[in-house]
Amino acid sequence: MSWEKELEEKVSREKLSENLGGKDRIKKQHDAGLYTIRERIDILTDKSSFNEVGKLAGHAIYNENNDLIDFKGSNFIFGKAKIDGRNIIVGGDDFTLRGGSADASIKEKHLKCEQMALSLQLPLIRIVEGSGGGGSVKTIETSGRANVPEVEGWNFVVESMGTIPRVALGLGSVAGLGAAHLACSHYSVVVKEKSAVFVAGPPVVEQIGQKLSKNELGGYEIQLKSGAVDDAVDTEEEAFKAAKKFLSYLPNSVYQLSDQIISKDDPKRTSEWLIEAIPKNIKSVYKIRPIIKDLVDKGSFFEIGKEYGKSIVTGFCRLNGWPIALMASDPYSYGGCWTSDTCKKVQKFVDLAETFHLPVIYLVDCPGFQVGLDAEKKGTIKEGVRAMSAIWQTTTPWMSIIIRNCFGVAGAAHKRGSSYISRFAWPSARWGSLPLEGGIEAAYRSDIENANDPKLELQKITTRLNKLRSPLRSAESFLIEEIIDPRHTRRIMCEFADLSAPLRKTGITKRTMRP
Amino acid sequence: MIYSEVSGTISEILVSHDQIVEKETDLLIIECMKMLIPVTTKNRGKIINIYVKEKDIINEGDKLIDMNYDI
């Protein structure tokens, strides 16, 4: 007596499941320059590490004798796998079967995938294409009745955002629930020219009078700028690489801490050029990314959301091998002023650092919030106070280095008032309630207007006030703790990383409501 | 097409029609929040069209310069 026959049938059904939507559909997928879901998982994960769950779940056709004629797997495939030797959960849509929609899905697989990642406290990578298990217009006919809208399992999604790293890869057209899965992640990536993301695609949007191509409606440039997606790369392989790199800085869950790796970069390395990195002409801008790349462990900077809220550069890096969340102002965008989008970017990034217990370093050059009609229309002050609150609510170790401007309320958000932070300034730092350049005419209006030579009076006042602007004058009153030599900044940042490592605490982040 | 990523005033135009420029050349300067922000080309190319002139007030997303990169 043996169970070989039953096992043979199981293997036979699994093989049928590997056929996905059939040869024609697979060819169509390949012709579009896209991989199938099985190929994607194969490339993403370590060799032979994928243990699929529910490969036998699908839609079977039987003859009158109840013998199996054909079998198609569900169009959502998931399981446990390894990337770079580390356990993860991966799940993805099979676009070759009804475009990944609910018609060819078994919704419990989606739920189990989410529940499995959350319960095993492992990072989740969702590969999204199509409607991500959402319904289609034809659903009403296949089910014989209309659904009352419900997203079952969204509780797992919400809970896991505060518990495990979630990465979403949008590898084709992504709409409806698929777009929701892409947006509900700590890090999302799409492929340029291949992916498009929208709540509803062009045929639906045409009904409201907007005739747009996929790219015009939800191409990568639109979604990066809107902040709905974090990054775009040229190929699917690069998307997998980005997902791995992102996860390499994070623990498996909030109940663990990220590890230190061996760094070959000397933590005491000095950089001579940093003494002249900030131009003396205060109207001139400089490139922040070369400064960041020089300060962190070589090759370790991983930027997130480059095209969104560009006045702040955000990303992960390593210092003496420790993972750090790094923010830095970019004067090329609004002189470093915080726009409404910048404030939203800060909120998300600070929350990400706090959730996964990464210490934060902020290189500050913030002349304030963006001003003007555009800024008011976009509710900059509202998003601004939310960003400030996000910073105030952090408990993770925090370091700020003021490298140039630090003005106004947005400037004050370089630190939290609630607990200790490490703070330093470069000699190029300048600060105050308002930049002098913006306020002298208003603050000294009567002096200037009543002077015999108003221009000369303005110049005199400016010269007088400029003498007070030196950061050393502020240091006299201990308003700034230390002025440092920019060339030695890396050593100070690495010391911060070393000191912060034992202070990190595991657990779920709790916070109260923001404004 | 190169669009403005900020709102501000065109402070200076550094290139002219039909000029061939190398990658990372500054094309024009926008005064924004009292800072002088250069707009740079990522690639080598020829200036096809300049949509702005000095002292123009521009908004985020406005067309600045069109270039042909196939030269």
Band of pLDDT at residue A468, cut at 50, 70 and 90? confident
Please give the pLDDT value at position A104.
64
Identify the helix (H) or strand (E) that includes residue B12.
strand B8-13
Mean of the per-residue pLDDT values of chain A: 93
DSSP β-ladder status, A398-407 and A312-319 = unpaired
**Plot region of A217 (φ>0 → left; ψ -120 to 50 → alpha; else → beta):** alpha
Chain B CB contacts of A435 below 8 Å: 34
Mean pLDDT of A209-228: 96
Query: pLDDT digits over A31-85, tens only?
Result: 999 999 999 999 999 999 999 999 999 988 899 999 888 888 899 999 999 999 9
Q: What is the pLDDT of residue A118?
A: 97
Residues 357-376 of A with CB under 8 A from B: 367, 370-372, 374
Which residues does chain A have within 8 Å of residue B60's beta carbon, measured at their own beta carbons?
374
Burial class (CB in 10 A: 0-12, 13-18, 19+), A5: exposed
CA of B61: which chain A residue's CA is closest? Answer: A225
Q: Which of A284, A310, A367 sits opposite B33 (nearest CB)?
A: A367
Furthest CA-CA distance within chain B = 36
Contact check, Cβ <8 Å, A335/B59 = no
**CATH number of domain containing B23:** 2.40.50.100
- First CA to last CA across chain A, in angstroms? 70
Per-residue pLDDT at A312:
98
The predicted structure's pLDDT at residue A103: 65
Task: Using DSSP, state whether A389 is helix, strand or coil.
Answer: helix
Cα pseudo-dihedral A134, A137, A141, A146, rounded to 10: 70
d(CA A305, CA A195): 17
Distances (CA, A) of A173 to A29, A75, A196, A198: 12, 15, 5, 8
The answer to whether A494 and A319 are in contact (CB under 8 A) is: yes
Domain A4-248 falls in which CATH fold? 2-enoyl-CoA Hydratase; Chain A, domain 1 (3.90.226)
pLDDT for A302: 98
Minimal C-alpha gap between A369 and chain B (Å): 10
Q: Residue A328, exposed/middle/buried by CB under 10 A (0-12, 13-18, 19+)?
A: buried
Tracing tokens 């007070």 back to the chain, one arrives at: A468
Map out the domains of chain A as residue ranges.
Answer: 4-248, 272-429+480-503, 435-469
The pLDDT value given to residue A106: 83
For residue A289, list chain B residues with Cβ-Cβ distance below 8 A: none
The count of other CB atoms within 10 Å of the CB of residue A237 is 14
With CB atoms and an 8 Å threshold, state whether B34 touches A331.
no
pLDDT digits (tens, 9 = 90+) for A9-22: 999 999 999 989 88
| Upper half-sphere CA count for residue A150 (Cβ side, 13 Å) | 6
Q: What is the pLDDT of residues A472-482, one digit of tens each?
A: 989 999 999 99
Q: Answer yes or no: do A285 and B36 touch at CB < 8 A.
A: yes
Q: Do A374 and B35 touch (CB under 8 A)?
A: no
pTM for this entry:
0.93
Point out the residue among A284, A310, A334 whose CB comes nearest to the CB of B33: A334
Closest alpha carbon within chain A to B9: A334
- Pairwise CA distance, residues B68 & A217, whole Å: 25
CA dist list (Å): A201 to A52, A97, A178, A459: 31, 18, 12, 59
Write the DSSP assignment of A192-238 as a string of letters.
TTT-EEESS-HHHHHTTT----HHHHH-HHHHHHHTSS-EEESSHHH
Q: Which of A130-139, A274-283, A296-305 has the lowest mean pLDDT?
A: A130-139
Pick from A246, A220, A227, A218: nearest CA to A44: A246
What is the value of ipTM here, to two decimals? 0.92
B34, B36, B38 ranked by CB distance to A437: nearest? B34
Residues in chain B within 8 Å Cβ distance of A373: none
CB contact (8 A) between residue B33 and residue A371: yes
Among A239, A317, A256, A236, which residue's Cα sits nearest to residue A86? A256
- Work out whether the CA dihedral A326, A328, A332, A338 comes out positive or negative: positive
User: pLDDT tens, A336-360?
Assistant: 999 999 999 999 999 999 999 999 9
**Closest residue to A335, CB basis, from B33, B59, B60:** B33
Asked if A34 contacts A172 with a C-beta cutoff of 8 angstroms, the reply is yes
**DSSP run (H or E) holding B35:** strand B35-40
Q: Is A362 helix (H, G, I), strand (E, B) or coil?
A: strand
In angstroms, the CA A89 to CA A67 distance is 34
Those residues of chain B that have pLDDT short of 70 are: none
pLDDT in tens, A150-202: 788 899 999 999 999 999 999 999 999 999 999 999 999 999 999 999 999 99
Say which residue, A142 or A374, is predicted with more confidence: A374
Range of the domain at B11: 2-68
Total domains in the fold of chain B: 1
d(CA A136, CA A223) in angstroms, rounded, equals 23
Q: What is A272-429+480-503's CATH superfamily?
A: 2-enoyl-CoA Hydratase; Chain A, domain 1 (3.90.226.10)
What does each C-alpha distance from B56 to A75, B9, B25 come to in angstroms? 54, 6, 21
Chain A: residue whose CA lies nearest to B58: A374
- DSSP H helices, A213-328, are 214-218, 220-226, 236-248, 288-295
Residue of A nearest to B7 (CA): A334
DSSP characters over A161-190: HTTS-EEEEEEEEEETHHHHHHHSSSEEEE
Interchain pair A335, B37: CB under 8 A: yes
- C-alpha A268/C-alpha A161 separation (Å) is 37
Residues β-bridged to residue B63: B3
